[in-house]
Structures are given as C-alpha cells and as structure tokens.
Structure 1
C-alpha cells in the first residue's frame, strides 16, 4: 500500500538519505512500513540492528545500529533497549540473545539462514577436538550457538587474525570457512587446520572476474571480503571485513571501486560517498534478502519470531563470544 501524503511528509528526511540509491517511484511503497516501524520502536522500547548486507531502506531508514558481525555483537552487548530486532541472519540473532539473555530478541524471518552455519554441527566440532587433542578451536560467528558452545573462542572476519594470535598456540583449528582460514593462514605464522565450509555469496567470485573488471574499468580499486577464495584475495587491492571495506572507501576515496561481497553493501556505502563511482558486479545473499521492511514491522507488531537458545549450550556459547569481544 502506498503511503499517504502525511506519511510521506514525516519520512521525507529519511528518503533524503537514500535518494541516490532508491528511485522516487519506490519510496511511497517503503514509507508506510518505515513510518510504522519507527512508531513501533518507540512504543516497545526496541532497536533494530542491521547488518551491512541489508537493503538501504532498512539499513539507512529504520536501523538504529548497523555494522558487520563484530560490530553488531558489540552493539548487542551494550544496548539498553528491551527488544532487539535483528535485521540479518539467524546466527546473528542468536549472538544477540547470548549477550542479552534477559531481553526479547526477534528475527523477522526464521528461514534467514547461512550456508556457513549449515556446513557444520556441534558433533563435527567434537570430532575435530578428538582428532586434534589440545588444539584450540576458533569458530567463526557465522555458526549456530550449539557449534559456538563446542569452541574455545569465536571470531569474525574483522578480527580473525587477532583472535588466532591471541591464543599463543603454534596451531589452531579454525571453523567453518575454509577460505577465511586460508586467508588468515597467509597472514600469520600460526598453523591453521581448516574445515570445508564456504559462503555461497563469496565463493562465486573469481580472479578472471577481477581481471575483466580491471580491463573494463581502468584504475578501478578492487576490495574483496576474506570469505572469498585466496586467489581472489590475491588479485584484489585490499581484503577486509565489510567494516574494513567501508573504512577503506572513506579513508582513500578511490574514484572508482568494486566491493566483492553481497549486493547491498555497495548501495549502503555509496550513500555516504557520492563522489565515488561504485561498480556493482555482486552476488546476492538469498538469506539476507528474506528480511524486509514488512516482516520487521510484523516482528515488532506481533512479537515474531522470538529467538530462544537451548539452556544446555547457552553458557558455553556465551563464553566463546565474550572471549572474542575481550580480544
């Protein structure tokens, strides 16, 4: 349903933020939900935490806190809100619940999953510990709470190397992203034993694609997420987390740039950098795109869907996340 004139007037300042990436014809469709979500947040003392892969109308217009997985974990630990809506995938909502056991955490769509989280189980981690006794286990936050509970410490793409080196071990097990593990191994003297998981978004990028981009767009700066294959990272000008990519664009202001990551990332960064030309060959995350303004509104209105975690795994999973936040 298109917004009324009154709603359009109230939401006009929000549209000003995103007019470069959302056509005027689309805004009346978004404005009604945006306006309702803002009212519901006030009524319920709620905040929306949005990952960098959310679409601009979510990221820039209804989110209170935004960032990569590490930033969202830190923000979740500090918020005073009574209700947290996680505009992201399920493992992120679980992490928010681990850090806020007494608060209501909502995920707008229960099917918003993650190929990495689905690539490993708690039983797999226990088998790895049996196979490599005494070797510490670093688990990427892109995993279930049950997997985190079997780990010694968590990491994100933004702090993986620091976490690995903080353990003071000659070798560590790093789960579940094989490419992230290999990319971290190239930056440290610590021997890393990897699992075989991959991100369905980042594994599709190729070195040939980068070479074609450089041919088609001379002088382009290529930024790659460390979940990309190592040969892709080697071809890029910079590799880092989504927060790292954002900071790079802000610090270096490349005239033309491509972000080898999920599609919405470029749109969200472009809002703050109108002087940068973003080339957009990207890969869509179908799980992130399950989160919409409509189901965020429903989550707040109907308390859908409340995130719960098995009490048997909660203390150990929380400890692994808190250890990461302390690094």
Structure 2
C-alpha cells in the first residue's frame, strides 16, 4: 500500500486539542505513558526523525535495524514506529502476531518507495521477461513497499540495504545473468559500478512510459535500474561540491549512495547512514566535513560533534518532508490511544504478502 492509499484508508485524524498543548505538556505526558506501559511499549526512531521525537526513542537506527530490534524485543506488545510507512510494514513483517505496530501519522510515506508500485512492477516484469527471458533476478532496496518486497521474494530475489548492497549484488550475479534493481536507480548504479559493471551495461526501466532506456545492444545489459530516486538525496548537486571545494579547500565531503553517480564520484567518501555517522564519530578533532544526507541527521551530528566543523553539502536543503510528519503531537496521540484501548494507525501487512516479503528479507539476512 502506498502512503497515499494509507491516507485514504485511514478514517482518523489527530484531534485539534493536541495542537493546543505546549511542548512541555506533551513531553511530560509522553514520559508518563512510557513509565506506565513499561517494557510493553517500544519506540524505534529512524535517524532522520526530528529531535522532538527522537528524544523518546528506545533505539535509533536505519529502518531494517529498527525492525529487527522490534522483532527481538519479545516483551514489547506495542511498537510505535517513528519513521515512514514502509519501515513500519517491515517491522510488522518481522514481528510476531502478538506484537502490534503503529505509525503515528499515516501520511508519513516515502516518495522513493512509491515510485515502484506492484501494478507497474508486474507489467514491467512481463515485458522484461519477453526481452531477456529467464535471466533476471530482482533485488529491492529495503526502502520499498511490502508488496514490492513480496514480488521480489516470490521471484527468487532478496532485499538489500545501503550497507550490504555490494554483497547482495555479488550474490545475485551468482544466481542469474542480469539484475533488476528496485526502486532507487542511484544506489543500484553506484553499487554496480563499484563492483566493476560499466555504465554502458546498465539500462533504466521507465515505469511511466513502460520502456527500457538503453542506447546499445540490449544483449549487453547486465543491470536494469528502476527509474526511482530519493527526493532528498537527488537534490545534492555537483555545483554544491564545487562551492564547498572553493570555500573550504581542506573540507572532506561524504555523501549517501542514494545521491547521483556524478556526485558520488566527486565526493571523498560515500556510504550508508550508519557509515556516515561512524565516520564522523571517528574523525579527528578539528576535522571538517560537508555531509550529503538528510538535514535532521546533519543537524544532530553538528550538535553531537562540536569539536569538528560540519556543514550540510547543500546549505539550502530541507529535511525529508514525509519523515517530518512524525511530530510530538502525533507521537503523543498514538501513545494515548494505546493507553485508552483504542489504538490508531495500526500497520498490518496481509499474511501472504508478509510471507513472500519475509523470503526476500531472510535471503538477505542469511548473507549479512
């Protein structure tokens, strides 16, 4: 289900009374509920969340790590996932039937995940099979819907993260001659290139036009990239790099591999969100860094490492709009609804979809 569909299916919106509370009142009530519910409540918070929410997280991390931690925490009956829709879906897939997963605001989606829906993917698969026969293994970034993970699982593929993408692409090439990589073309392109696949052996599938974008002989295609992207990371530009190099010649640039290929080539380092966090933490005092990733995280790193000079690679970058949907009023509303016995915004993945998606996740986890 896309986040737009989630909005349409949800009949509940936050009561206006929550907007009338002060921040101090909301924070105090959240703390009271956490004490009241104890270990039966678990609040995972993604790295890109606002500080007003992340302060209450029982664990912070990327989407897969948080879903795994939720599944491991058997005491937790109520999991209030502070992230976006696909992350809560993954948590629901990996947790047991006694654990209930909620998303504080159903509008918190992911534009990248919604760039590949199951109808587009099924149509693309038929056409690609006609072109290439049974030579393609599908892989999907974990930043995808449960239905896309299920599609990949049913067709022998696996999920990948930005941390293990190289390992998973290597494995995929031992299974089939070609890879269909969903839904982020930039992570797929950067990873395949680092593994030695030339750019002229990568094609792009346009799900809107339903056509393969490739100039040469399609027999040479090794990687088929879905035409999707992260709206945050695609906004970092080559010009941003040139400006930093000019203004701060000694500054190192580190970016996420969801950025465009030409930007990644110019950066000093690139890696997953966890890699960026760890690199900054290990960097010597007095070092300077321009970071190309989501603004909430960059601002948090600036506050945590005041012994270093840290800036955003794009000074005009806004935080991820859908991540920002989860705010303190929505978190409090979600928690109070649980206490009152009328929880809102529960995330439930259809059983068959969950079973197929779990196959894709397990294939990855077995190799990570």
Same fold (TM over 0.5): yes
Give 1:4's aligned residue.
none
- 1:14 maps to what in 2? none
Does 2:236 correspond to 1:205? Answer: yes
Partner of 2:14 in structure 1? none
Map of 2:141 onto structure 1: 140
In the superposition, relative to structure 1, how do residues 41 and 324 fare at CA in structure 2: closer, same or farther (>3 Å)? farther
Tell me how far 1:192 sits from its aligned partner.
2.1
1:270 corresponds to which of 302, 320, 332: 302
Q: What are the equivalent positions in structure 2 for 1:8-157 lying under 5 Å apart? A: 29-44=22-37, 45-59=40-54, 61-80=55-74, 81-102=76-97, 103-130=99-126, 131-132=128-129, 133-151=134-152, 152-157=157-162
Superposition pairs for residues 185-200 of structure 1, below 5 Å?
Answer: 185-189=192-196, 191-200=222-231
Give the Cα separation in 2 of the matches to 1:137 and 1:76: 27
Contact 1:138 1:174 in 2 (8 A): yes
Please tell me whether the aligned partners of residues 135 and 178 of structure 2 are also in contact (alpha carbons under 8 angstroms).
Answer: no
Summarize deviations over 1:95-145 as a string: whole Å, max 9, x none.
Answer: 000011421101011011111111111233333433242421111111111
Structure (1 or 2) with the larger CA radius of gyration:
2
In structure 2, distance between residues paired with 1:87 and 1:93: 8
1:268 aligned counterpart, secondary structure? helix
In the alignment, what sits opposite 2:336?
Answer: 301
The answer to which of 252-261 and 305-314 deviates more is 252-261
Measure the CA separation in 2 of the matches of 1:100 and 1:120: 25
For residues 336 and 300 of structure 2, what CA distance do their matches in structure 1 show?
26
Secondary structure at 1:114 match in 2: coil
**In the alignment, does 2:169 pair up with 1:164?**
yes
Q: What do the CA deviations read for 1:254-284 (whole angstroms, capped 9, x no partner)?
A: 6221211111011222343221122132342
For 2:27, what is the secondary structure of its paired residue? helix
What value does the CA root-mean-square deviation take over the aligned residues? 1.8
Provide the residue aligned with 1:9 in structure 2. none
CA distance in 1, matches of 2:135, 2:71: 30
CA distance in 2 between partners of 1:233 and 1:189 (Å): 15
Distance 1:38 1:324 in 2: 37
Name the SS for the 2:81 alignment partner: strand
- Cα offset for 1:252? 2.0
Residue 48 to residue 248, structure 1, CA distance change in 2 (3 Å): same
Structure 1 residues 129-164: Cα deviation after superposition (integer angstroms, max 9, x where no partner): 332424211111111111110002111112111111
Measure the CA separation in 2 of the matches of 1:58 and 1:158.
25
Instruction: Please give the alpha-carbon distance, in whole angstroms, between the structure 2 residues aligned to 1:181 and 1:46.
Output: 36
Pairwise CA distance, 1:301: 0.9
TM-score, normalization by structure 2 = 0.77
In 1, the alpha carbon distance for the partners of 2:266 and 2:22 equals 41
Quick check: 2:42–2:70 contact (8 Å CA) kept in 1?
no
Per-residue CA deviations over 1:2-47 (Å, capped at 9, x if unaligned) read: xxxxxxxxxxxxxxxxxxxxxxxxxx95343233223223333211
Offset at residue 294 of structure 1 (A): 1.2
Count residues with an aligned counterpart. 299
* CA shift digits 1:159-190 (9 cap, x unpaired): 11111112324431110111111101111146
Q: How does 1:161-310 map to 2 (within 5 A)?
A: 161-167=166-172, 168-169=174-175, 170-189=177-196, 191-253=222-284, 255-280=287-312, 281=315, 282-302=317-337, 303-310=343-350
2:356 aligned partner: 316
